[in-house]
Amino acid sequence: MTPAAIRAGDEAAFALLVERHHRALRAHCYRMLGSFADAEDTLQETWLRAWRGRHTFRGERGVRPWLYRIATRACLDALTGPGPRRSPVPAVNGTGAPAHSPRAEVTWLEPYPDELLDPPAPEEERPEALALARETIELTFIAALQHLPPRQRAVLILRDVADRSAAETADIMGTSVTSVKSALRRAREGLRDHLPARRSEWRAGPPADRWEREVLRRYLDASRRADLSTLAALLAEDIRQCMPPDHLVFEGREAVLDLWRPVLTGDGAWGEWWCEAIAVNRQPAAINRVRRGTESAWTPVNIDVLRVEGGLITEIVTFTPSVLGTFRRAARAASPEWHVM
């Protein structure tokens, strides 16, 4: 895969480029946009721009800076272009009163399936492998990024996540090193306003550890049995359940249990309830399904992504099941085919 072959329009060489960098660039677009579906769309736009602009690839600095430049600018165009702008929406609680939750305020926030983060990048792409560490893909971090202005967001991701140098970042952004350093300082300050007070609360680490898996197992079992007593024992007293699509927050154990009670133990209007573990954003998570009356199929209801601290669930971020179709399509295209368009 040489620069000359790509510039000459060698489709096989370009397809290899697509396959090799697809996962890392999709994660980059996701961090920029906060939406898995939008990241998929913008990644396709990135490949189209790369193909159409292949004559600009010289190879002196390697392929990654070239691709990051294209992907970052495609994301910035999506964020600042003529279409509708996305801005955080003030969250409310179950009674409609104002509430604060950086996750709930990002109404376009979507989960990201772990299977599309793995396998890790090759040895020669170690910065991308590190960029898939847990702390940079957790929902807490992704949502916090969405509160930053787009260009600050891009600089912070390039410098602190993708491990690009200040000079590389300036080249990608089409600005000066001084401007990059200034934007990075402001971005780090802004990010702290939307993250937990102690960085250790959104630590780096492997996918759900043994204690988290055990909490998830008990959560699934109690949900299937509609055992509210056991569920209550798994929840921290100050737990929050956030629903980003509706910018809703339910604060405190009793509010969360009141939300669940009619679903799990009501008059049967919801039907038979079932849930199973899934892996998203390097966090323990569950997909909930219901089967009503004489139906044979289980219908997805929502996806719950858990945050576990000290053996208790401190936050649940709940998503609609609409993202499942995108997950499946992306998984089928995990090794994408490339065709000249």
In a domain, 198, yes or no: yes
Helical ranges in 157-224 per DSSP H: 166-173, 177-192, 210-224
- Indicate which CATH number applies to the domain containing 300: 3.10.450.50
Same-domain pairing of 124 and 235:
no
Same-domain pairing of 37 and 177:
yes
Give me the number of domains the chain comprises: 2
Same-domain pairing of 229 and 189:
no
Task: Provide the pLDDT for residue 187.
Answer: 97
Domain boundary among 145, 180, 204: 204
Per-residue pLDDT of the chain (341 residues; tens, 9 = 90+): 566 777 777 788 788 877 888 999 999 999 999 999 999 999 999 999 999 988 888 765 678 888 999 999 999 999 998 777 789 999 998 888 888 889 999 999 999 998 888 765 454 454 444 445 678 999 999 999 999 999 999 999 999 998 899 999 999 999 999 999 999 999 999 999 998 765 544 444 444 577 899 999 999 999 999 899 999 999 999 999 999 999 999 999 999 999 998 888 766 567 788 899 998 999 999 999 988 877 888 899 999 999 999 899 999 999 998 888 877 776 665 545 555 44
The rounded distance, in Å, linking the Cα atoms of 220 and 275 is 6
| Residue in 20, 89, 24, 75 with CA at minimum distance from that of residue 46 | 75
Task: Provide the pLDDT for residue 198.
Answer: 53
Q: Which residues contact 209 (CB under 8 A, 6 or more apart)?
A: none
Domain boundary among 186, 204, 222: 204
In angstroms, the Cα distances linking 176 to 60, 98, 137, 157, 187 are: 20, 41, 28, 17, 16
In a domain, 332, yes or no: no
Same-domain pairing of 151 and 167:
yes
In a domain, 195, yes or no: yes
In a domain, 333, yes or no: no
140, 195 in Cβ contact below 8 A? Answer: yes
Same-domain pairing of 54 and 169:
yes
The rounded distance, in Å, linking the Cα atoms of 299 and 287 is 10
Q: Exposed, middle or buried, 137 (CB in 10 Å: 0-12/13-18/19+)? A: buried
Task: Provide the pLDDT for residue 13.
Answer: 78
In a domain, 341, yes or no: no
Same-domain pairing of 186 and 322:
no
Same-domain pairing of 100 and 215:
no
In angstroms, the Cα distances linking 84 to 44, 77, 111, 236, 287 are: 20, 12, 22, 38, 30
95: three-class secondary structure by DSSP: coil
Same-domain pairing of 239 and 320:
yes
In a domain, 147, yes or no: yes
DSSP class per residue in 287-332: EEEEE-TT--SPEEEEEEEEEEETTEEEEEEEE-TTHHHHHHHHHH
Task: Provide the pLDDT for residue 72.
Answer: 97
CA 96 from centre of chain? 27
pTM (2 d.p.) = 0.89
281, 303 in Cβ contact below 8 A? Answer: no
Residue 198 belongs to what domain range?
Answer: 3-204
The rounded distance, in Å, linking the Cα atoms of 88 and 334 is 31
Task: Provide the pLDDT for residue 210.
Answer: 79
In a domain, 338, yes or no: no
Same-domain pairing of 57 and 170:
yes
DSSP class per residue in 6-24: HHTT-HHHHHHHHHHHHHH
Same-domain pairing of 264 and 181:
no
The rounded distance, in Å, linking the Cα atoms of 158 and 183 is 12
The rounded distance, in Å, linking the Cα atoms of 99 and 75 is 30
Domain boundary among 182, 204, 226: 204
Same-domain pairing of 226 and 128:
no
Same-domain pairing of 167 and 226:
no
CA 102-106-111 angle, to 5 degrees, is 100
Q: Exposed, middle or buried, 324 (CB in 10 Å: 0-12/13-18/19+)? A: middle
336, 20 in Cβ contact below 8 A? Answer: no
